[in-house]
């Protein structure tokens, strides 16, 4: 079971269609309070569907108030839905609304579009914080969003209980991920870009990883970095934090950040964390 929610205009309808293509039964615009009843109906049927995906947003004004109760009812039925939260920068959401000429669900005579977007962001902040995966769709076309969701679905399925860690690599020249809880600047590490034999490779290649991580700077930093992250995560978990997004950046997001992120991914998986990774700008350089 998957619940797709997030900021209005960030791509929920497209996401639901992707899950339909993956074999899910899809319902959009469902009041949160009805989710347990729908799930119960699905249980009773010998369904040919792979699962159930529900689209929820601020068109149902009681969404925030009824969210926690709906999750408790689902858990009573032995459902633990995966929550996918979509968002985008305000300027992009404004552009999309101008293109479609539709009204935002919270717009009114006293509340313009930008104020409605900001109010919605505040209302949904708790749901966002506890989501299994947050996607910023600002730079995605419809086709990009479809490809990204399809590529991440396996990772979403594999998420276990406990702290969720999402690792993003990026290039500073393309912009810092807005959804990051922590941003690490790795531009001090040796840069394979200036080695002709490594320039066309990426941090997924062994030769590049050795160049970055087996240098004097790389060894020292990576040891302390992994120690810091693995020390920090349990402290956040003890405080009830559900999800952490770590962004690792270098100049172009292709070599150094990817190398360190892959090392971090392996370490966190070894320690039993539910971790996903996104190389956001690796193919842009």
Task: Detail the residues annotated as belonging to a binding site for ATP.
Answer: 6-13
Asked if 248 and 169 count as a contact pair (C-beta separation under 8 A), the reply is: yes
CA dist list (Å): 196 to 104, 109, 191, 192, 259: 51, 60, 11, 8, 18
Q: How far, CA to CA in Å, does 124 sit from each of 8, 14, 127, 129, 138? A: 11, 20, 5, 9, 18
What are the beta bridge partners of residue 51? 24
Query: Exposed, middle or buried: residue 210 (CB in 10 Å: 0-12, 13-18, 19+)?
Result: middle
Binding site per annotation, positions for GTP: 57-60
Burial (CB < 10 A; 0-12, 13-18, 19+), residue 238, is: exposed
Separation between Cα atoms, residue 56 and residue 62, nearest integer Å:
11
DSSP class per residue in 198-219: TTTS-TTSHHHHHHHHSSHHHH
| Token representation of residue 214 | 């087996």
How many residues does the structure list for the chain? 285
Write the burial class of residue 82 (CB in 10 Å: 0-12 exposed, 13-18 middle, 19+ buried): middle
Binding residues, as ranges, are: 6-13, 57-60
């Amino acid at each position: 079971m998957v619940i797709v929610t997030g900021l209005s205009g960030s791509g929920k309808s497209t996401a639901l269609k992707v899950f339909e293509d993956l074999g899910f039964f899809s319902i959009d615009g469902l009041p949160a309070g009805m989710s347990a009843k729908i799930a119960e109906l699905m249980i009773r049927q010998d369904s040919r569907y792979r699962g159930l995906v529900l689209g929820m947003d601020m068109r149902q004004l009681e969404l925030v108030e009824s969210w926690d109760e709906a999750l408790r009812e689902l858990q009573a039925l032995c459902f633990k839905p995966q929550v996918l939260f979509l968002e985008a920068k305000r300027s992009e959401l404004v552009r999309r609304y101008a293109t479609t000429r539709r009204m935002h669900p919270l717009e009114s005579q006293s509340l313009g579009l930008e104020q409605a977007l900001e109010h919605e962001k505040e209302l949904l902040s708790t749901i966002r914080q506890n989501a299994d995966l947050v996607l910023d769709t600002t730079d995605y076309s419809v086709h990009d969003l479809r490809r990204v969701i399809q590529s991440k679905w396996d990772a979403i399925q594999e998420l276990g209980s406990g702290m969720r860690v999402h690792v993003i690599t990026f290039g500073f020249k393309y912009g810092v991920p807005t959804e990051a809880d922590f941003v690490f600047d790795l531009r001090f590490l040796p840069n394979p870009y200036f080695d002709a034999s490594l320039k066309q490779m990426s941090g997924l290649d062994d030769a590049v990883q050795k160049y970055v991580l087996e240098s004097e700077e790389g060894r020292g930093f990576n040891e302390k970095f992994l120690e810091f992250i693995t020390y920090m995560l349990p402290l956040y978990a003890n405080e009830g934090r559900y999800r952490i997004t770590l962004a690792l950046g270098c100049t172009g997001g292709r070599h150094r950040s990817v190398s360190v992120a892959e090392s971090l991914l392996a370490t966190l998986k070894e320690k039993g964390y539910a971790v996903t990774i996104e190389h956001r700008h690796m193919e842009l350089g």
